[in-house]
Amino acid sequence: MTDPERDAAESGSAPRPRKPARKPFLLRLPPDLLADLRGWADSDLRSLNAHIEFLLRQAVKRRRGSDEEK
């Protein structure tokens, strides 16, 4: 039993669900694209990393949707 699980068991509350692990990934971008993404992220009040993840998730959903129509 891990410490958080032990603490939860002792206090009678359920342990908090763990977030899925995130894997670091190096991404090389041209400076102009990086600047555009950074500006877009700032205007949407997101970190650059969160914004790139958001855009990738949208693209994957869109692609899955178009694959289902075929």
pLDDT digits (tens, 9 = 90+) for 24-53: 989 999 999 999 999 999 999 999 999 999
Specify the pTM: 0.63
54 touches 45 (CB < 8 A): no
In tens, the pLDDT along 3-12 reads 655 655 666 6
Spatial separation of the C-alpha atoms in residues 38 and 30, rounded to whole Å: 12
